[in-house]
Structure 1
């Protein structure tokens, strides 16, 4: 069951829509499906091939929709199932495919299954991970696992007589109880959910926490309670990260997708301890693609970038899968800010001009690599991380769960600036409620309307890159050849036919290699030379 070489996802550009912050059509300060429909011409003209939409399901929003109460309903803040169906049709009419999120590791604590579990209905708790506590009276959690959002990964619930009873597992917020994927009801339900949305025309799914569904039934303590990605365990040995049996789930899901016409696909959010483990998720008969987080996390250093590219493409080539490159998403600091910080500094003083220059060069490099790529909403506007959101406005559960010591991910989720007019920079209509997260002062300088037509803007660079990438026969899926030597501060790669990408990560301008034409640069050439932290696309023989 190897993918055909012409399937669309092998070289697609997919735009991530964080729906709460994309576009608000009804004026309640929260993005919605109607807002996405209004912006479809913008996305088409940007040059993307598909949209990935973060969870739009009915949810109490304990974690921005990643706590799903009903997988077959749309949250009222976003619209209705009928609205979603109209969006799918409209997207297809604009030549865009549509990929919603699916959240299989956990549900909301408001899901009907979990409400039945709390009511202790017969067998209901078996769908989740309930266990008695440790200690003389069960007063201690069943093990030492920690929530990704801070604090213990267990919450105790009362028995029917009101006395403290068993504990349930939640690797994220308490409002996100983990499902037990050894229970047949769970597998059957999610296959039914896939079919529900495939029947309505979606083109695939992004799988949240794809590495984490299967837990060791013994639920042993972690040797290092902070090891939540399996770095200190042998391959497949972590109690809840990247266990071998999770691949059986995706083999079943692949059979569901393949039963539909139109090349439906999956992309996995799979955090694995090594690239060769990630390749197993996209082997024949399993998932189609997986996010390359090693590339996202790589520092702006030539050796690290080249090694990540080589390791990724090498392991994926062995299983016949295409790479998927990504620079930012809703869970990480936006890359213009990351690239503007000193090496190894996760926060602090940021040289945003430097970070933006590097981000422009990173776009040309990313778009030159073999495979597909993702664009996180607003990166085409050059948006930085918003690091001064007032404490009282923060909504990421990490903030409270960490005892207000970790600010969380809200800085990458601030509503988009569409225009330089209006109280919300065009995110909402006139007279609307305030955006659900405050926009910083001066946000309008990044507005799409202000950048349109400016050849030096980040938006126009993205449009140019994505359209030229689609048109050039060398770009997209395929192979690359390095011309530079390992350790060189200037990365030089070639793609056939007739294409080269050069990235200068040295501290001085460099001469361009022999070429027939300069196709595109991320920054103006300096006396014919490529400046530091700049990239060029070249036509070569």
Structure 2
């Protein structure tokens, strides 16, 4: 039943946070029929796959990432018939459906955990249970087995008297981690993936998949909060190969979300010879505004560090045969436009909002890999600007607000951090119209709608020349049609001292691929220059070998200012504030 989709190298994926995309029945929560109703819009945008966040039955402690049943649809999102209709209607438009699989942990309401609580030894072995440190015997919890901290704040261990053990939860306390050393667990996970593949799913995104293999020995982390102890564990590659083989998904569109990973492992995860994953999400580039590496401490983005990260991952993955997923935004991140300075003249052409949004799009869409567009990103949606902590729904944000206040921050100071960092910034409703609730629902939305939906919305942008939406359509079309974008090599160049906040790289084709592109009238070598500076700068691109990139005869393919005023010299290029330019080199 699998649809035959576009080659992954030419593909663009659109992420849908189902709860906030489109509500079809007025209950204030997005659903599967709502997605189906917007397929014509997504086909207009030009995307090839839709990654949909979890819609499985769930108590919603972590907005669906706490799964209570892997092979059913939560009634709040629709029915299995609704899902089947979505798959069929998407396929008829040349779009494949990708599902979000949460295989590291379950909800504590899942039948398996409930049966473990009831004393069934088989299901106790599905989870990671340990005696406490310093426990003097049954019934005495002692202290948590290790000092590991969970992703949402606090200990990663929870004492459960009914189990007589501590259980590990690397995320919320309601999300006990599965024990992948148990072959029965691995078999169950393969059955889950196979179930959805057989229903016509075209691809999968695997949530925090590099955390499924825990260390052989559980011990304290003497250098941090534990993440390095359980990321990219000793059997993770073995488990992934087994999952891919048993579920029959080798060759399908797959991407893994990887927490605290490294380049070496990501090359291995995504090298086709390994038969593990198609691409990986790594998050190092989205920590360049963390003061001291702390997500909850604000700092201006370090663009020099951003450039280093992009260069090392683009060139490193290329050298090892690996593949990147390219992204700025998702359901776990604040909006990139706000993060990187797009606060001016929001919703209006020519402000920093417009320039930053288009520049960010060029920066990643022209790189080597598969671009991912998060719902509303193509419109230029911004952070929500929460007026009160009461407007926030996210468990991670609420936990860290409390922690910040406990550490001495005032409520206003803590709220300012949450405004900038909360995952709920990416979870506010998709902005379809300027009308009530942004056209997302006829009821009361589950989370508030930003006021700027009156300016930033599909209705205002679709078909309007120069809009953010139409700009994204153009970039997606470039990946579909230009071989140098979809298959070219990549190399980063220095931008010279006068442009310290510029990121500049080349894309090029070689050999037969270059000859074929020339014969088809396509460009063979591109220079991509992106300024993250609020002031003008002059880029003089110099390759790693010291050679200056000649710009004589260069043709402007893309300019985010779109005014035919790009100034290109023999060996330099002038960029205006937050401008991005793509040149076809002679």
For the superposition of Structure 1 and Structure 2, which TM-score range results when normalised by the shorter chain?
Answer: 0.7 to 0.9
| C-alpha distance in 2 between matches for 1:217 and 1:350 | 52
Q: Which has the higher helix share?
A: 2
Counterpart in the other structure of 1:453: 463
Q: Is 1:96 matched with 2:91?
A: no
| C-alpha distance in 1 between matches for 2:149 and 2:555 | 55
| C-alpha distance in 2 between matches for 1:389 and 1:252 | 48
Q: Is 1:138 matched with 2:141?
A: yes
SS of structure 2 residue aligned to 1:171: coil
| C-alpha distance in 2 between matches for 1:488 and 1:302 | 14
**Contact 1:10–1:322 (8 Å) recurs in 2:** no
Counterpart in the other structure of 2:439: 426
| C-alpha distance in 2 between matches for 1:281 and 1:179 | 21
Give 1:95 shift.
Answer: 0.7
Over 3 Å counting, the alpha-carbon distance change for 1:528 and 1:321 in structure 2 is: closer
Counterpart in the other structure of 1:33: 32
Give 1:425 shift.
Answer: 1.1
**Contact 1:23–1:416 (8 Å) recurs in 2:** yes
**Contact 1:11–1:373 (8 Å) recurs in 2:** no
**Contact 2:433–2:453 (8 Å) recurs in 1:** no
| C-alpha distance in 1 between matches for 2:143 and 2:46 | 54
Match of 2:256 among 259, 264, 268: 268
| C-alpha distance in 2 between matches for 1:403 and 1:509 | 39
| C-alpha distance in 1 between matches for 2:145 and 2:492 | 52
Q: Is 1:359 matched with 2:397?
A: no
Counterpart in the other structure of 2:113: 114
Give 1:77 shift.
Answer: 0.9
TM-score by length of 1: 0.88
| C-alpha distance in 1 between matches for 2:539 and 2:453 | 37
| C-alpha distance in 2 between matches for 1:7 and 1:378 | 23
| C-alpha distance in 2 between matches for 1:539 and 1:215 | 48
Counterpart in the other structure of 1:149: 152
Unaligned runs of 5+ in 2: 290-300, 405-413, 510-522, 541-550, 568-574
Q: Is 1:521 matched with 2:564?
A: no
Q: Greater CA deviation, 124-133 or 273-282?
A: 273-282
Counterpart in the other structure of 1:3: none
Give 1:403 shift.
Answer: 5.8
Counterpart in the other structure of 1:469: 479
Number of equivalent positions: 510
| C-alpha distance in 2 between matches for 1:171 and 1:511 | 45
Q: Greater CA deviation, 86-95 or 460-469?
A: 460-469
Counterpart in the other structure of 2:536: 508
| C-alpha distance in 2 between matches for 1:130 and 1:456 | 56
Give 1:493 shift.
Answer: 2.1
Aligned pairs for 1:147-296 (under 5 A) are: 147-159=150-162, 165-228=164-227, 230=228, 238=229, 240-256=230-246, 258=248, 263-283=251-271, 284=273, 285-296=275-286
Q: Greater CA deviation, 494-503 or 277-286?
A: 494-503
Q: Is 1:534 matched with 2:579?
A: yes
SS of structure 2 residue aligned to 1:476: helix
Unaligned runs of 5+ in 1: 1-5, 231-237, 342-348
